Structure 1
Amino acid sequence: MKVTIDRDTCIGCGVCASICPDVFEIDDEGKAKALVAETDLECAKEAAESCPTGSITVE
Structure 2
Amino acid sequence: MNATVNENCIGCGLCTGTCPEVFQMGDDGLAHGGEIPDGLLATAQEARDGCPVSAISIEE
Length-normalised TM-score, structure 1: 0.84
Task: Give 1:2 deviation, angstroms.
Answer: 2.5
Gaps of 5+ in 1: none
CA RMSD of aligned residues (A): 1.3
Q: How many aligned residue pairs are there?
A: 57
User: Which residue number corresponds to residue 37 of structure 1?
Assistant: 35
Matches of 1:30 and 1:23, distance apart in 2: 16
5+ residue gaps, structure 2, are none
How much identity, in percent, do the aligned residues show?
A: 42
Supply the distance in 1 between the matched residues of 2:45 and 2:12 (Cα, whole angstroms).
Answer: 17
